[in-house]
């Protein structure tokens, strides 16, 4: 067990302890209900999708977006946004590194990257990963977001939760995940398509998440 891993575990334990034992402040709702999020984003057309009720119960989200968006000339991009107005009472964001393998997905490659979105000043810090299931490849891009900050690491998210609880009595956060098929194993093409969609999606999403 490395020193870095031990420090990370200590950070998570401290974050959870701080968020549970500080006095409960205002629960921070999303700026707008996700139900009003547009199904049409320029050339992308969306369709509502749904998890099974027990999945929503397990996730413990305050509000969520579960959709697929299409253009006429390529595979769809699936979207999941889960927003938590508070993480004090057992509702915690789960890392895909553990959830995806539980669903039968095997990680093939992964990297941390920055995504520059038009009209957004700071780049998004995200994980880009390729997973395989039953011979099919899927590209995933995801990040955590809290108080206007994006994070690729679940450890950074826990640290920000602790700092938010101490400084502002807030533990609200969102998890944002996109996925798209990788036809013919062309990861570069899938990544380009994904980045184009994220450029359409994120500027609107900013209107829904508290800063």
- How many Cβ atoms from other residues are within 10 Å of residue 122's Cβ? 11
**C-alpha–C-alpha distance, residues 60 and 172, integer Å:** 13
Nearest-5° Cα angle at 127, 203 to 140:
80
Mean pLDDT of 49-57: 92
What are the structure tokens assigned to 43, written together?
């050339």
Whether residue 211 lies inside any domain: the answer is no
Instruction: Provide the domain limits for residue 150.
Output: 3-205
pLDDT number for residue 211: 76
**C-alpha–C-alpha distance, residues 113 and 127, integer Å:** 6
Which stretch of DSSP H or E encloses residue 126?
strand 124-133
Whether residue 110 lies inside any domain: the answer is yes
Number of domains within the chain: 1
Q: Is 139 helix (H, G, I), strand (E, B) or coil?
A: strand
pLDDT number for residue 161: 80
Whether residue 167 lies inside any domain: the answer is yes
The lowest-confidence range among 39-43, 85-89, 168-172, 179-183 is 85-89
Whether residue 210 lies inside any domain: the answer is no
> Measured between alpha carbons, how far apart are the two ends of the chain, in Å?
36
Whether the pLDDT of residue 209 is over 90: the answer is yes
What are the structure tokens assigned to 141, written together?
């891009």
Mean pLDDT of 39-64: 94
Whether residue 172 lies inside any domain: the answer is yes
Whether residue 127 lies inside any domain: the answer is yes
Whether the pLDDT of residue 5 is over 80: the answer is no
Whether residue 76 lies inside any domain: the answer is yes
């Amino acid at each position: 067990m490395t020193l870095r891993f031990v420090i990370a575990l200590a950070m998570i334990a401290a974050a959870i302890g701080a968020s549970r034992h500080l006095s409960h402040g205002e629960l921070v709702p999303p700026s707008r209900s996700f139900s009003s999020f547009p199904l049409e984003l320029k050339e992308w057309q969306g369709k509502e999708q749904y998890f099974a009720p027990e999945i929503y119960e397990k996730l413990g989200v305050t509000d969520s977006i579960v959709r697929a968006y299409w253009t006429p000339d390529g595979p769809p991009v699936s979207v999941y946004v889960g927003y938590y107005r508070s993480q004090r009472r057992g509702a915690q964001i789960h890392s895909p590194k553990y959830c995806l393998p539980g669903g039968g997905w095997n990680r093939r490659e992964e990297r941390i990257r920055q995504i520059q979105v038009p009209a957004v000043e700071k780049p998004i810090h995200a994980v880009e990963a390729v997973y395989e299931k039953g011979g099919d490849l899927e590209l995933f891009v995801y990040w955590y977001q809290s108080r206007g900050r994006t994070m690729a690491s679940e450890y950074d998210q826990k640290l920000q939760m602790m700092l938010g609880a101490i400084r502002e009595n807030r533990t609200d956060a969102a998890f944002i995940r996109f996925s798209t098929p990788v036809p013919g194993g062309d990861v570069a093409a899938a990544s380009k398509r994904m980045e184009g969609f994220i450029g359409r999606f994120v500027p609107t999403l900013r209107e829904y998440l508290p800063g």
